[in-house]
Amino acid sequence: MIGSQPRTAAPAQPRKTPETSPPRRLTGAQICLESLIREGVDTIFGYPGGANLWIYRRLPEYPQLRHVLVRHEQGAAHAADGYARSKRGSVGVCFATSGPGALNLVTGLGTAYADSVPVVAITGQVAVAAIGTDSFQESDVIGSTMSVVKHSYLVTRVEDIAPTIKEAFHVARSGRPGPVVIDFPKDLQAAVSEFNYPEEPVRMRSFPSPPAPDPAKLARIAELIKHAKRPVMLIGRGVLISRAEEEVMELAHRAHIPVGWTLLGTGAFPLQDPLALQMVGFMGAGYTNKAVCDADVLMMVGMRCDDRVTTRLDSFAPRVEHLVHIDIDPAEIGKSVVPHVSVVADARTALRQLLPMVEPKREHEWLTQIDQWKEEHPVRYVAKKGILQPQEVLEEMYARCQDEAIVIADVGNNQIWSALWFNYAKPGLFLNSGGMGTMGYAFPASMGVKLANPDRTVFCVTGDGGFLMNMQEMATMVENQIDVKVLILNNSSLGMVRQFQDDFYDGVQSAVQLTCTPDFAKLGEAFGMKAMRTSRREDVGPMLDEALAHRGPVLMAFDIDPVANVYPIVPLGKGMLDFVEAG
Amino acid sequence: MNPSRVLSILVENRPGVLNRVASMIRRRGFNIDSLSVGPTEDESVSRMTITVHVGRQQAEQATKQLAKLIDVISIDDITGLRNVAHELLLIRMNAPLGQRTELLQVVNVFLGRIVDIASSSMIIEVTGTTEKIDNFVELMRPFGIKEVARSGAVALVRGDQARLSLLDLNGDAEAADRPGLVRVGGGADHTGDI
């Protein structure tokens, strides 16, 4: 059942307990669930097991908490990620038991960590007295997850549960968001304590609020923009997290600055805008790379500038005279390139304060140059008669439900095609695992996306390899009738790896052919999904229409050109301008 | 070889903090020369003093990554500031009666103390800078060292200021006066990795 219950409480101001009667005595499990409700949680993805059964014992007492039983804990972590990513301001929640259950979350937590997604994972743990004795299904959850979480807590006293949950949500959603683990021993789930949810806001001396932007630096940036001859702005996921899309748009148009984006920044700036560049970097558009390499003032906003953006580091932005970097995480400033001016702040706050300082600027020759590069280096593909190209499928998909649907792509060639062909004007409608690059992410995550956005169409684009990694979640999807339209771009191989082997590893194909590819239509039907399959161009549109007309999850398998490649691409070890184009 | 840098870190006195700090340093590929942890005047706060062998840029990255850890309250790179950075040495020396006088002369020069004495050996305690301890150990070598235990440096900044300000999040990592683009690291080639 897909509910659309409103969130029960605003996260910043928890409601007061309705009655003023003396505090209730509750079990740790009840305290945990009540605390989640106070934090505005309405959906939990989880899997029960020996060490969290007291939580599941109490769960039916809270019908306002919708629990979605996944079929593998990795799916729970990804679904919680998809929920939080697609409903900005919310925190995704997942449950797992101790030992293997908790360890199965690790990839999902790492995925959320790499992309700064607020997720709270509550793991069952063996009883306090048994910790450290190698008891049944015991694992060191804190140790195992340490490098892929923003923070973690081991609860050791029942009185600590409520304050720990409150602090965990605060840490997950504040500053640069990220996943937080709460390891919750099973004896404490059954122990009884008074329930007092802390009313006052969390204050942590070791986790201060992000600093306010320095006005002097903003003034300097405004000055640099004023004198820039060849300005370029690059934006990342930080712009989406802080909802700074309008500010980016206003700044771009006021000073006529072309805007490019990272993979995770896709969907923060409309491709149709005359100032829009495209994705930058390793598989970015040629004209974006050209613009970055010719820029005199380069502004990076809400992004890390990782190796996928820079390609070979010494080829990145060689003509830049003034590099400006705005990011909320000071550790990202100067990590790969050292800016001339840096502002550590929330992107929206910084841009809002910057805007009044920026003088309107007339259009300049630079934009004419960029338009010329756009004509010379279009992002394109070559159609082949009788062989379905993935971009043909995506063009049909993007032509439907424009600005209404949310598109979530998996990892590999399907991801890059989906990003480069994405063309919605409204922000925040494209999601993917950009940082960790977790194959198998999109399908379980799409369940979270749909449950967080019941009124939107959700398209999940995946390859056959990635789909097989978490296909068990078909059961979850059907059981809960989570209405996702799944598009499998099936090339019966690991397309991106195969492309790399062909082009950069001496053409030796090794372990990339998935010769046993299931008939996805039959597979979907076996789980009770509406499922279809085609290899013909003319079937694509009607199949999508049929899928959209159907209420409930649909699996569509498109047997595409097995040698379809991603273009443009910067070959191994080459620089930004060495991109190879289609054709 | 990069010079040693001394990081002085105040952390929440909670289980697992040492693990978080050490894990972060390992994950980011920084080598620790020494690390010491102990209580402070405030029982909810511990001080870690970490000596690392890294360049300035790398130290800055280490500092910022450590500052991000939720349990880290403040972190200061006190290298180059006027500071006292001392470590403690306990050294068990081969000390038969015949060479004790000579040994004690060196110990006195270094203001060391004899903290244990047995029929043919003694334990000497010396405190001071790493350099002083290194020198002392070298001078002891001819007498016959049996065992060495060193604490790693603990450090405080000199002067009236009891505690340094928090990391200046807004002032770091800028190349305002440097022309062109400064890139960090050797331009490692990651392209083409999946």
Q: In Å, how far is B191's CA from the nearest CA of chain A?
A: 5
* Percent share of chain A, pLDDT over 70: 96
Measured distance CA(A433)–CA(B156) in Å, rounded: 44
Of B20, B167, B192, the CB nearest to A146: B20
CB A580 within 8 A of CB A568: yes
Ordered by where they begin, the domains of chain B are: 4-81 (3.30.70.260), 85-150 (3.30.70.1150)
- What's the one-letter identity of residue B162? A
Q: Does domain A25-194 have CATH number 3.40.50.970?
A: yes
CB A441 within 8 A of CB A433: yes
Measured distance CA(A77)–CA(A68) in Å, rounded: 12
Is the Cα dihedral A71, A77, A82, A84 positive or negative? positive
**Residues from chain A contacting residue B12 (CB–CB below 8 Å):** 206
Tens digit of each residue's pLDDT, chain B (194 residues): 567 889 999 999 998 999 999 999 888 888 888 999 999 999 999 999 999 888 877 888 888 999 999 999 999 888 878 888 999 999 999 999 999 999 999 999 999 999 999 999 999 999 999 999 999 999 999 999 999 999 999 999 888 765 544 444 444 456 655 667 777 754 444 444 54
CATH architecture of A390-566: 3-Layer(aba) Sandwich (3.40)
Among B181, B184, B189, most A C-beta atoms within 10 A, so best to mutate, is B181
The domain spans of chain A are: 25-194, 215-376, 390-566
- CB A573 to CB B185 under 8 A? no
Asked if ipTM goes beyond 0.85, one says: yes
- CB A344 to CB B170 under 8 A? yes
By DSSP bridging, strand A297-301 and strand A231-235 are parallel
Q: By the CB < 8 Å criterion, does A160 face chain B?
A: no
Helix, coil or strand: residue A221: helix
The answer to whether domain A25-194 and domain A215-376 are alike in fold is: yes
Q: By the CB < 8 Å criterion, does A223 face chain B?
A: no
pLDDT for the residue A406: 98
Tell me the C-alpha to C-alpha distance, in Å, between residue B183 and each of A221, A292, A306, A316, A317. Answer: 20, 15, 12, 9, 10
Choose among A41, A35, A33, A58: nearest CA to A196.
Answer: A35
**Residues from chain A contacting residue B191 (CB–CB below 8 Å):** 282, 307, 311-312, 570-574
What tens digit of pLDDT does each residue of A383-410 get? 999 999 999 999 999 999 999 999 999 9
- What's the one-letter identity of residue A414? N
Measured distance CA(A80)–CA(A62) in Å, rounded: 19
Question: B-contacting residues of A 69-108, CB under 8 Å?
Answer: none
Measured distance CA(A72)–CA(A26) in Å, rounded: 30
Choose among A470, A488, A545: nearest CA to A74.
Answer: A470
**Residues from chain B contacting residue A214 (CB–CB below 8 Å):** 170
Helix, coil or strand: residue B81: coil
Of B61, B182, B184, the CB nearest to A331: B61
What tens digit of pLDDT does each residue of A106-155 get? 999 999 999 999 999 999 999 999 999 999 999 999 999 999 999 999 99
Measured distance CA(A379)–CA(A375) in Å, rounded: 10
What residues of A act catalytically?
73, 136-137, 186, 496
**Residues from chain B contacting residue A204 (CB–CB below 8 Å):** 70
CATH architecture of A215-376: 3-Layer(aba) Sandwich (3.40)
